[in-house]
Amino acid sequence: MTSSSLPIVLYAVPFLAALLVAVVGWYVRGSARVIAVSAMAMTATLAAAVLARVMTEGTLYTPLGGWPPPLGIALVVDRLGALMVVLVSGVASLTVTGSLRHVSQELPGRETPYYSCVLLVTAGLIGIAVTGDLFNLFVHLEVASLAAYALVAAGGRGAPRAAMAYLIIGSAGASLYLLGVGFLYAATGTLNMADEARLVATADPRLVMVGTLLIVAGLGVKMALFPLHAWMPAAYQLAPAAAASFMAPLVTKVSAYALIRVLFWVHGEALLRTGGALEILAWAGAAAIVAGGALALVEADLRRMLAYSSIGQVGVVMLGVGLANTAGMTGAVLHIASDALVKGVLFLAAGIALLRFGVSRVDDLNRLRGRAPWTGAAITVAGLSLVGVPPLAGFFGKWYVLSGALQEGRWMFVAALVLGGLASIGYVFRILERLYFAPAPEHSPPGEGSWLAVGACLVLAAGIVLLGVANESVVSTLVLPALPEVGP
């Protein structure tokens, strides 16, 4: 397959699979999950192939429809995009495979629309990662988001209301992004990201600044950046466990990546510093770290607590982006990867706990004691990575952002990171305490739960360990060449 068609095939596989599931799924029993799992596996393989190609050949480029830029929509996959694609398809395949049993338990008879929506979300996220056109980003963002609203609404009591709140806030955010793109288009006359980068320096600065701020606000809603995070806790608490384990690690992270792409590849660091967008992002990130940590600390429901923790981690990423030096950006990218893996494990394990042991509150985790050793091990690895214990992956992300903040002498940000770290110690150790030290109840169901789910948790946890241990080579070969050009 030629290099120029690889990105579009990568996008086409989950998209076509979603349509195939909708056409065939109701008429051939069990075909929905077969198509979904095989499509995910194919996507993951193609993503690895894309990464290999990008490492050897440089940026992959696909002019859709044969129209050359700036006339047509172009797909551009550089190193960062290839990293994101591998992350998305890898985590998505593992969580979807791991939650096969959960889906048939929670959503019996509704597997066809469920898997169709899951594949649509995957296709949308991959589309965001490979696109090189601002409006195309909006379309993929909305495709992924609409399917995500449907997935959240499929949960039990209270889920439709949470989905409605998510829908209204999320669509408002997407409209803000679209408005920002409109301002940029009015300023430069093009939507192609590369062309825009060329023209934006000489365009009307007021239009560009307003457009940038609107894009930041819109994507900030999508990634649940404090204070635009209100939709997230209820949505991830009440969604079906399988859907939460699939969406929570990925949707917000890909939106964060989209912001990095638009800010640094289209605008460039010099332009952003004069506009003030970076300052806003850094302060919002710091506030998110503190607020997310504090709210997670006092939360009693397990998945709601994990959602607040995610808000905190997105804050770390945005702080790294806002600092915009090499260390900060390295930390941001590493943290995107490590938090996707960590939340994949934690939400999948929360699904096991919910569906096998009936656990929805943190205090009930003692039901797993002694019964679920493998799940407990995966939770421990993920929890320690969340706290930031070396040599696990989570340490390095926070460490790079911290050194970026120290480098700039921003003591408020250092304080925010430290406070967030303390809070994460608090809530992670609450989980571990209930898991390992609280007395087990008398009656517990035997067995640990679906071996697929436990297996997926373990593979993701192994990924966390691997990313941490191999961190230096990962940073030097994959991350550093992928970064945009930023300061020291």
Asked if residue 65 binds another protein (CB under 8 A), the reply is yes
Nearer to another protein, 330 or 366 (CB): 366
Asked if residue 23 binds another protein (CB under 8 A), the reply is yes
Asked if residue 139 binds another protein (CB under 8 A), the reply is yes
Asked if residue 3 binds another protein (CB under 8 A), the reply is no
Least Cβ distance, residue 218 to another protein (angstroms): 11
Asked if residue 233 binds another protein (CB under 8 A), the reply is yes
Asked if residue 29 binds another protein (CB under 8 A), the reply is no
Kindly tell me which residue out of 3, 22, 204, 268 binds another protein, with binding defined by CB under 8 A. Answer: 22
Asked if residue 168 binds another protein (CB under 8 A), the reply is yes
Nearer to another protein, 95 or 145 (CB): 145
Asked if residue 165 binds another protein (CB under 8 A), the reply is yes
Asked if residue 186 binds another protein (CB under 8 A), the reply is yes
Nearer to another protein, 32 or 401 (CB): 32
Amino acid at 183: F
Asked if residue 294 binds another protein (CB under 8 A), the reply is no
Cβ neighbours of residue 202 closer than 8 Å, sequence gap 6 or more: none
**Helices (H) then strands (E): counts for the chain:** 21, 2
CA distance to 84, 119, 188, 229, per residue, from 222 (Å):
17, 19, 25, 8
- The 358-397 site mask, x for binding another protein (CB under 8 A), equals --xx------------------------------------
Nearer to another protein, 161 or 198 (CB): 161
**Would you state the structure tokens that stand for residue 74, as one six-digit string?**
């172009």
Kindly tell me which residue out of 182, 390, 484, 487 binds another protein, with binding defined by CB under 8 A. Answer: 182
Site for another protein in 322-361 (CB under 8 A): 360-361
Asked if residue 16 binds another protein (CB under 8 A), the reply is yes
Nearer to another protein, 55 or 298 (CB): 298
Cβ count within 10 A of residue 295: 21
Nearer to another protein, 5 or 274 (CB): 5
Is the Cβ–Cβ distance between 50 and 449 less than 8 Å? no
- The C-alpha atoms of residue 29 and residue 334 are separated, in whole angstroms, by 41
Cβ neighbours of residue 226 closer than 8 Å, sequence gap 6 or more: 284, 287, 288, 291, 292, 311, 315
Cis peptide before 70 (omega within 30 of 0): yes
Q: How many residues bind another protein (CB under 8 A)?
A: 62
Asked if residue 142 binds another protein (CB under 8 A), the reply is yes
Asked if residue 66 binds another protein (CB under 8 A), the reply is yes
- The residue range among 32-40, 139-147, 425-433, 437-445 that interacts with another protein, by the rule CB under 8 A, is 139-147
- The residue range among 76-84, 91-99, 175-183, 418-426 that interacts with another protein, by the rule CB under 8 A, is 175-183
- The residue range among 246-254, 295-303, 333-341, 450-458 that interacts with another protein, by the rule CB under 8 A, is 295-303
Which phi and psi angles does 75 have, rounded to 5°?
-100, 130
Kindly tell me which residue out of 160, 268, 455, 484 binds another protein, with binding defined by CB under 8 A. Answer: 160
Interface with another protein by CB under 8 A: which residues? 4-5, 8-9, 12, 15-16, 18-20, 22-23, 26, 62-66, 109-110, 112-113, 116, 135, 138-139, 142, 146, 149-150, 153-154, 157-158, 160-165, 167-168, 171-172, 174-175, 178-179, 182, 185-186, 191, 233-234, 237-238, 299-301, 304, 360-361
